[in-house]
Amino acid sequence: MAESSSLPVLFSTELVVLPGMVVPIELDEAARAAVDAARASSDGALIVAPRLDDRYATFGVAAHIVQVGRLSSGEPAAVVRAERRVHIGGGVSGPGAALWVEYEPVDAPEAGDDARELAAEYKALVVSTLQRRDAWQVIDAISQLSDPSAIADTAGYAAYLSDEQKRLLLETPDVEERLATLIGWVKDHIAEVDVADKIADDVREGVDKTQREFLLKQQLAAIRKELGEDEPDGADDYRTRVEAADLPDDIRKAAEREVDRLERSSDQSPETSWIRTWLDTVLELPWKTKTTDSTDVDAARAVLDADHHGLDDVKDRIVEYLAVRARRAERGLEVVGGRGSGAVLVLAGPPGVGKTSLGESVARTLGRTFVRVALGGVHDEAEIRGHRRTYVGALPGRIVRAIKEAGSMNPVVLLDEIDKVGSDFRGDPAAALLEVLDPAQNHTFRDHYLDLDLDLSDVLFLATANVVEQIPPALLDRMELVTIDGYTEDDKVAIARDFLLPRQLERAALTTDEITLTDDALHKIAADYTREPGVRQLERLLAKALRKAATKLARVERPEPITVDEPDLKDFIGRPRFTPESSERTSVPGVATGLAVTGLGGEVLFIEANATDGDASLKLTGQLGDVMKESAQIALSYARSHAEQLGIDAARLDDAIHVHIPAGAVPKDGPSAGVTMVTALASLASGRPVRSDVGMTGEVTLNGRVLPIGGLKQKLLAAQRAGLTTVFVPQRNEPDLDDVPAEILDAIEVRPMTDVAELVREALEPAAVPAAAAA
């Protein structure tokens, strides 16, 4: 190193360098200038000093640059070897952009015996620390040192000393003082390491103790088993319950595996509670329990007839199921190929026709237990298949819970409102029902929670729905569809007399001796007070009338029996809510009466057409769907191109045409209003109103062909309620008339049609005859 009183200085913010250390220093702009100045003017010599907390040190080390290069990260760096302590003076001018300072070497006093003793003690402490880390090469290097000052300065490599501590060592030239300070710091560090080691040993001993306790518990369990002693509320209790339970072989093996896991698990493990809950669920399921079906077909039909009026399709299907099952049992064919003889029916129809209550009657008919599963508004797939056992609070799905609640493997399970199932980010419950409701698959239904095959093939599934179109096609394909249409007026009167009225008399604490409702009154209520396919509103009105009667009887001391006839209804339930309006609505040209089907059953649909001056155009209002809009365009195109065949003035349809379907707040869609739109346009163009007693339904093509539609029975029921006497239907729907009650066909003349032009001619009022021609 060149002998001079000034050198460039490199201030290090990352580490404190003590004499004897060889370290790499990352170079920033100022450090780079100092290195360049040292290599150019002082033979690679420079001062390295720490800078902590933005304070420049007054002590540093005179060092020599060994190498300049880059670190593994790619940053420039210089390797320096520190040689001796220096005291830094004031700044001086020097070549280059580096900061030059004056310095004065700091020579440590000659080491005495005390310093050597302290050095030996410190060396022993350092060696003891390094031995714990197996740093034998470093131990050899320190063992070769004999100078007390050099031994003390090796503390610059100690990772357990802070930069402030190392800076204090740099600023302490006295060797004895330096060594004494270091010995205190190393002893503190060794004490901390001893505490940490003791904690680690205690933890290790705790783990070993837990393992030892587990082994002892296993041995104790084995000893108790040999002695024939039971351990209540433990794994042995579950093993005893599994052995005593009447389980299928595969289920027993799975349960025994879980009991083995329970015996190996610690009581503090969360897995223990999961296993116990799973075992409780498995042991509570009725794996081999089945009820015996009633095989008396006549008695079954009698029970169904006693509970519900009408609904012959459903009753016939249940009786057929009973007859087939009885024959299979008689011939030993209860189970074939692992599949039972269950059934999956979906009862589709408007509200209030008895779909849900029918499930209870079916269960009573078969002698089975009944369980209702409400699916309306369910959006989570786990509600059907269950949650995985790893989730906190996991439970089996609703199907498994229904089987457990029923207590048998062949109950009647009613899946209520299956068309109201939705889907979101939690999955699609309807997709999970595909396996449940497939007779070819449900004998191996697997719930996520149980993770076992559950045989559902003997379960009689009854699903209910209002709108079949809202059921996914793949799910609907797995079920047998039984349509329940609305009731006729006579059906409603019979239901009211035989079922509703007795029930409401009991609720109102009345008897037939105290109040009587005549058949005329019941007919009046069904015709003019309700316009529903079911009987819920009818029952509410009966309850209202009986409450009024109970109030009147309570106000007199000696009441006379009350008879409610048709003229008395206004006093008991108010004025009629519905009156025939077809004649009023169709009294002007351009209005036709159509028929439609909604989720609430059949409805009468009036279609109005009007023309205003302007360019030829078509305006549609009434919140119509795309299909109905297209039907209106097809109807207008047909009417314009076949004006002569329809007997109308085509010029009337070249104006701005406005087609409106009232009840604009209700969405409407479907193609079955095509013939009604053609009739309304023909009435508008000819100036002849549509007959008030006529209703119609059917899809129309551009060539005027009348195509078939759905829901004919419900539409005819709506026509009867509206007081129509003639209904035009598509010719291809004529076979559907077999399902229509005879009383409807007696009250309504049903006219099958194939050509819409012929339908229009018969639906319009006759043209007025001029007076001159009449004379």
**Closest-CA residue to 154 (of 194, 123, 114):** 123
Q: Pull the structure tokens for residue 282.
A: 């498995």
Q: What residues are labeled active site?
A: 672, 715
The count of C-alpha atoms lying within 13 angstroms of the C-alpha of 754, restricted to the half-sphere facing its C-beta, is: 2
Token pair 């050198």 in the structure block, residue:
7
Question: What DSSP element (H or E) covers 598?
Answer: strand 591-598
CA angle 9, 13, 19 (to 5 degrees): 60
Structural tokens at position 51: 């800078």
Element (H, E) at 595: strand 591-598
Distances (CA, A) of 293 to 442, 444, 460: 20, 23, 12
Distance between CA atoms of residues 589 and 604, nearest Å? 18
Between CA 715 and CA 52 the distance in angstroms is 93
d(C-alpha 118, C-alpha 175), whole Å:
9
The answer to whether the annotation marks 591 as part of a ligand binding site is no
Helix-, strand-, coil-residue percentages of the chain, each rounded to 5 = 45, 20, 35
- The continuous run of DSSP H or E covering 46 comes out as strand 45-52
- Judge whether 349 is annotated as a binding position: yes
**How distant, in Å, are the alpha carbons of 386, 529, 567, 725 from that of 576?**
50, 5, 11, 21
Q: DSSP readout, 189-228?
A: HHHHHHHHHHHHHHHHHHHHHHHHHHHHHHHHHHHHHHHT
CA–CA dist 685, 527 (Å, integer): 35
CA distances from 507 to 501, 502, 562, 577, 590 (A): 10, 9, 17, 25, 50
Q: How far apart are CA 700 and CA 334, in angstroms?
A: 51
Q: Which residues, including other chains, have CB under 8 Å from residue 698's CB and lie 6 or more apart?
A: 672, 674, 675, 706, 707, 708, 709, 728, 729, 730, 733, 753, 756, 759
Is 352 annotated as a binding-site member?
yes
* Amino acid type, 597: V
Separation between Cα atoms, residue 137 and residue 383, nearest integer Å? 66
How many residues in total does the chain contain? 775
Long-range contacts of 472-476 (CB under 8 A, 24+ apart): 472/430, 472/431, 474/434, 475/418, 475/430, 475/433, 475/434, 475/437, 476/346
Judge whether 356 is annotated as a binding position.
yes
The first and second tokens of residue 412, run together, are 């009647």
What is the amino acid identity at position 454? L
Amino acid at 679: T
355 is in an annotated binding site: yes
Answer for the pair 775, 723: CB distance below 8 angstroms, yes or no: no
- Terminal Cα-to-Cα distance of the chain (whole angstroms): 145
Placement of tokens 């016939």 in the chain: 316
Angle CA 591–594–599, to nearest 5: 135
Distance from the Cα of residue 506 to its chain's centroid: 43
187 is in an annotated binding site: no
Q: For residue 236, what are the contacts with CB-CB under 8 A and spacing of at least 6?
A: 221, 224, 225, 230
Binding-site positions for ATP read 349-356
Binding-site positions read 349-356
